[in-house]
Amino acid sequence: AQSVTQPDIHITVSEGASLELRCNYSYGATPYLFWYVQSPGQGLQLLLKYFSGDTLVQGIKGFEAEFKRSQSSFNLRKPSVHWSDAAEYFCAVGAGGSGTYKYIFGTGTRLKVLA
């Protein structure tokens, strides 16, 4: 079955420290991969996406993610975290064909940033 795993429910980092959020997926083919961020009470904002090509993807707000096919992973990274990055982060897989396509989301990682 298709699934997305975000092993870390909560992560706390100090402002200025580097960040890596993990995402692993289970899917029979190469999926479309996404990272979204959600601030409290808000919708989801797209950070970055991977469809094909270069496996290192740059996104908004200084985020990047690397697709590793051999590990079925799509980890999100940021070299220096800002206090405004505190939010919940969701990894998603776009899976299925015509008539069955949908996003499958991970359970999210809540990021806390210490001043």
Number of Cβ within 10 Å of residue 58's Cβ equals 10
Q: Does the protein bind another protein through residue 10 (CB under 8 A)?
A: no
Window 18-37: contact mask with another protein (x via CB under 8 A)? --------------x-x-x-
Q: Does the protein bind another protein through residue 2 (CB under 8 A)?
A: no
Which residues are at the interface with another protein (CB under 8 A)? 32, 34, 36, 41-46, 49, 90, 94, 96, 98-108
